[in-house]
Structure 1
Amino acid sequence: MVIDTAQQLLNAALAVPLQRATTALLARQGIELWIRRDDLLDAQLSGNKFYKLFFNLQAARAQGFQQVISFGGAYSNHLHALAAAAHRYGMHAIGVIRGERPAHLSPTLQDAQARGMKLVFISRADYDRKTAADWLADLQARYGASYLIPEGGANLLGARGMQLLGAALEQQTGGDYSAVCLPVGTGTSLAGLAAGVDRRKPVVGFSVLKGAGDLGGNVAAFYDALWRDWHEGAFTSPASASALAENWRLISGFHGGGYAKKMSAMMFAFWQGFERETGIPLDPVYTIKMVWGISSLAQQGYWPRGSRLVAIHTGGLQGRRGFNCP
């Protein structure tokens, strides 16, 4: 399926199913949990990945670029989706990979390469400079004129794609929910989703990172920019726009040791139990941490009894191949 317009993407988003996830723990606490199965959006472009890529790819094509470059690790969901999207849109793609080339490519990179992505491996020291202007200029000189997409699609266009998902959720549910939850890496998806749903509804992001750093600042910056664009400049300064940033919150403490780290026995057991009870597959880096956080907070009485929660399944199931999955 090739999606060429925002309306087509919205129509595809409206067709994503909501699946009830009932567990003994949530039932005891009187919490109703629905998983929005964005992992089913597309066989190759699942979860939040294509939403974040869509407007970037549209911009690349509008500006006449035939090639895109982005960044990630050996199991990057972002690069996996970018390779598929570029192939589908007839564009060339280059994936800049953190670390030396291994003797055997990960399944993720094998897929990306099979879809035509050129893989470029660089040292971790060079990778840390991936936002430096001189380093990016050298990259362009070496591989030709390319549209640059930040790691994870973490830019305003990526957030705008998730804003569209939020608008679809509002139409789909008619606002009949208490809160929306999603896992957070860069904060792009949290900002976009919060800007797309009803301002009166809280959007709760569960950080998958051990150290939040400036994650909250990233969310606020994207959120404010989206609101200014949405209201066509009705807000005259970032300070006035920030007054609207009341419907998102960022929760840490459910990172499981950090990004893509080995899972603890306790979290692994929870993962097994949740999938057994609900039949909904989760990925080991993002969605498992969100659902673990939702359930843990339910046990602590964080959600009022009778709450109807919607959790966004951000895809990434291809990453299960790098873990000992249930």
Structure 2
Amino acid sequence: MSISFNINENNYIQQIDTMFLKKRNIYLGVKRDDLLHPLISGNKWRKLKYNLAHMKKLKKTELLTFGGAFSNHIHACAAAGKEFNLTTHAIVRGPELDHNNPTIQFAKQCGMQLHVVNRLEYRLRNDQDYLNSLQTRFPNAYIIPEGGTNSYALLGCEELVQSLPAHDYLICPTGSGGTLAGLIEGSETATQVIGIAVLKQAEYLKDEICKLSNKANSQNNWQLLTDFHGGGYGKFTPELWRFCQDMNINHNLPLEPIYSGKMMYALFQLIEQDYFPEGSKIIAVHTGGMQGLDGLKYRGLI
């Protein structure tokens, strides 16, 4: 396999310029990782990059992963399969498949093979015996966990930090904890790294992050804020959705209300509460996932 897994990793930071920020003398830049690639964008590419390199090293030719029917990770893995000419498989949480769902339609268009399982079987996705049985069933497959978070995912997120200009605060949305762990690994101790949890009761993620990142264990320059989940994973308030639309109209910054929109909405509330000292330089990471809007429209949620 002589294939090279690369995309053009541009380094575009969009400054948000408002009186709201000016009067507090705060710089806010958005790392537009949503623009990395039309289909494999944001933290999904960052997490896949070194997993694909490791897959190549192991001489595996197929990719197998897990996700729900509207998963951004499944969307990205399917797109990577098409982009790099790989066979891809997804174990999809059932009980059945809605073939009109835009994420499922896209995955199938990319040639991804979808294997629907009931919720009981899906719960085994991190069980070693179950993973061994899948490896036997798909001997050529490199298995990536749900959401793409593992030690190889962290390397790509570390790399993101190294491309940034000087900053005091680095902020990202947090679902599985992989992106936040990678940003902690890549950051200097003088930088405060903040994750905005997008799901309810996310305190347990702190332990997950410490398992993933050695630095998270030994440094206190990071935190996970768990009060901005907007009702839970995949849920959002009308105010949050209105904020996302306003950011797009007023600042040409497209947001979805599940990940990056939740983070930006939380960030503006924190700034309003004078959480950040005057003169702070903040960089917020837009982790992509904009195709999620199609799923929200499909379900009549926006």
TM-score (norm 2): 0.92
Choose which of 161, 164, 168 in structure 2 pairs with 1:166: 161
Question: What SS does structure 2 have at the residue aligned with 1:285?
Answer: coil
Aligned to 1:4: 4
Q: Who is 1:258 aligned against?
A: 232
2: CA distance, partners of 1:271 / 1:53: 27
List runs of 5+ in structure 2 lacking aligned partners: none
Give 2:113's aligned amino acid: K
Partners of 1:88 and 1:108 in 2: CA distance: 17
- 1:23: Cα distance to partner? 4.1
Query: Structure 1: how far apart are the matches of 2:31 and 2:41?
Result: 12
Q: How has the CA–CA distance of structure 1 residues 78 and 103 changed in structure 2, closer, same or farther, with 3 Å as cutoff?
A: closer
Superposed, 1:135-154 pairs within 5 Å as 135-154=130-149
Is 1:282 the counterpart of 2:255? The answer is yes
**Where does the alignment leave 5 or more consecutive residues of structure 1 unmatched?**
228-240
% same residue? 36
Higher relative contact order (CA 8 A, sep 6+): 1
For the residues of structure 2 that align with 1:201 and 1:137, how far apart are their CA atoms? 40
Report the secondary structure of 2:213's partner residue: helix
User: Residues of 2 paired with 1:124 and 1:21: CA distance?
Assistant: 42
Matches of 2:23 and 2:72 in 1, distance apart? 35
Aligned to 1:242: 217
Change (3 A) 1:143 1:101: farther
In 2, are the aligned partners of 1:25 and 1:295 still within 8 Å (CA)?
A: no
Deviation of the 1:4 alpha carbon: 3.2
**Other-structure match for 1:182:** 172
Query: CA 1:3–1:257 in 2, change beyond 3 Å: closer, same or farther?
Result: farther
Which whole-Å CA distance do the structure 2 matches of 1:124 and 1:158 have between them?
26
Q: Which secondary structure does the structure 1 equivalent of 2:254 belong to?
A: coil
CA contact (8 A) 1:183 1:290 kept: yes
* Deviation of 1:246 (Å): 2.3
Q: What is the deviation of 1:24? A: 4.9
Q: Shift of the alpha carbon at 1:259? A: 0.9
Matched with 1:233 is none
Amino acid at match of 1:168: S
* Residue 134 of structure 1: how far off its partner (Å): 2.2
Conserved 8 A contact 2:183-2:193: yes
Q: Does 1:208 pair with 2:198?
A: yes
Q: Which whole-Å CA distance do the structure 1 matches of 2:17 and 2:269 have between them?
A: 15
Aligned to 1:33: 28
1:216-227 to 2 correspondences below 5 Å: 216-224=206-214
Partner of 2:48: 53
Alignment of 1:301-312 (within 5 A): 301-312=274-285
Change (3 A) 1:3 1:215: farther
* 2:126 equivalent in structure 1: 131
Separation in 2, partners of 1:160, 1:45: 17
> What is the alpha-carbon distance in structure 2 between the residues aligned to residue 279 and residue 26 of structure 1?
17
- Preserved contact between residue 16 and residue 40 of structure 1 (Cα < 8 Å): no
Cα deviation, residue 157, structure 1:
0.5
Measure the CA separation in 2 of the matches of 1:3 and 1:246: 41
In terms of mean alpha carbon deviation, does 142-151 or 156-165 score higher? 142-151
Match of 1:314 in 2: 287
Are the structure 2 counterparts of residues 311 and 126 from structure 1 closer, same or farther at C-alpha, using a change threshold of 3 Å?
same
Q: Are 1:77 and 2:72 an aligned pair?
A: yes
Structure 2 CA distance for aligned equivalents of residues 200 and 103 of structure 1:
48
Partner SS, residue 163 of structure 2: helix
Are the equivalent residues in 2 in contact too, given 1:29–1:299 (CA < 8 A)?
no
Question: CA shift at 1:146, angstroms?
Answer: 1.5
Query: Structure 1, residues 168-222: CA drift from partner, whole Å, max 9, x if none?
Result: 12xxx1x2x2211100011111111121122211111101010114201111122
Structure 2 letter corresponding to 1:139 = L
- 1:112 pairs with one of 96, 107, 110: 107
Whole-Å separation in 1 of the counterparts to 2:11 and 2:110: 25
- 1:26/1:32 contact within 8 Å kept: yes
Aligned-partner Cα distance in 1 for 2:25–2:257: 27
Contact 2:245 2:255 in 1 (8 A): no
Corresponding residue SS for 1:214:
helix
